[in-house]
Amino acid sequence: MERHSKLKTHLAVWSGASRRGLFVLVVMGVLSCMSNTAYSIPSLRVEISSISSKLIQKQKALNSSQDLVNPAHRFNVSSMASSTSFAGIISEDSYAFGHKEDLGFSIFLDRRCKRVWFIRHAEAQHNVAEREHELGSLVLLQENSGWTYWDAGLTVAGQAQCGRLRREIEALPHPLDLELVVVSPLTRTLQTAMRTVPPSLHDVPFVATELCRERVTSCPADSRRPVSVLKKEFPAVDFSEVRTDEDLMFECMKEDSDACKQRGIKFLQWLAKRPETRIAVVTHSGFLKRLFEQFGMDIARDDQDELHRRPANCEMRGLLLCAHRHFSDVPGAENWVDTSI
């Protein structure tokens, strides 16, 4: 395995207070297989950034005016606000973590955190067309190529990328010990998941959800085949989270960047409600771009660049997802959040 010399190795806290919820993302490392080159970026040092000046100021004021050891002043996390609007966040949300900017550390409650490995799908047929055709990405439009790249599958090179990433994962000094694999219901992500984390080698459930599919555009490459067909091709995957057999999202709606960002936060809320704490997510670069760019605007520039850059095909990026509030999975509960599409 070849180390990539240009990328700095460190652990960084990436925070974001979005309009749809409150989370912190912490990068744990990057593992990528591009062409014949693989590189791993371990976490070597700690660099803490500003979480949110507004929340920090509130917490400092509360810490100086209240004795948090006093039971009367302890915050009951079970009563945390369920509002998904950042404007409605109350100061108690900051008690889900302890941030000491002057000391250079943040402490998060273990039960609030999940290890999540985000994997972009391996090279697919439409990626090659986009790269090699003179029209570039415009070749994928229906008026230029029809349905040629509808729900495009992996190329031979993409299949090889999956094999290399799987071997790199198996060679890690500490196993991932995955409890769940979440996958977009498009063919290229399903194939990547099956070839990278084979169900036969890991006793772990595979769940498909449209919450992490690619941004819905007018390109047939971003549309999926019917679930009834996908179930036969990928029998190990649980498609119960996909509500319709046909791709009604592609037929009935198109997403701009803001809509995709909102869906991304819904996806984080869905993950936060899951019982599993070690999760792999096989998804798409466009979705990841719009998800991650909502976080880390106030951190060191090199860390920001690492979070926001476009992932390579079959690149795995490990993060910590820290939820500042509880998201109930019980409809009607005070802290229940509807994450359906």
Q: Which of 121, 126, 284, 324 is catalytic?
A: 121
The 8-class DSSP code of residue 85 comes to -
Q: From the candidates 210, 214, 255, 315, which is the catalytic residue?
A: 214
Cα–Cα distance for residue pair 171/178, rounded to 1 Å: 15
What does the buried/exposed string (b/e) look like for 118-156 if buried means 16 or more CB atoms within 10 Å of the residue's CB? bbbbbbbbbbebbeeeeeeeebbbeeebeeebbbbbbbe
How many Cα atoms within 13 Å fall on the side-chain side of residue 268? 33
Is 214 a known active-site residue?
A: yes
The residue whose two tokens read 């095909």 is 313
Among residues 232, 165, 225, the alpha carbon closest in space to that of 195 is found at 165
Q: How many CB atoms lie within 10 A of CB 103?
A: 9
Q: In DSSP terms, which residues pair with 15 in a beta bridge? A: 24
Q: What is the CA angle 272-332-295, rounded to 5?
A: 30
Q: How far is CA 270 from CA 20, 43, 45, 79, 264, in A?
A: 12, 27, 30, 19, 10
210 is a catalytic site residue: no
- Within 10 Å of residue 109's Cβ, how many Cβ atoms? 14
28 vs 48: CA distance, rounded Å: 13
Contacts for 86-93: CB closer than 8 Å, 24+ residues apart: 86/17, 86/18, 86/19, 86/20, 86/21, 86/22, 89/17, 89/22, 89/55, 91/55, 91/58, 91/59, 91/62, 93/22, 93/55, 93/324, 93/325
Catalytic residues: 121, 214
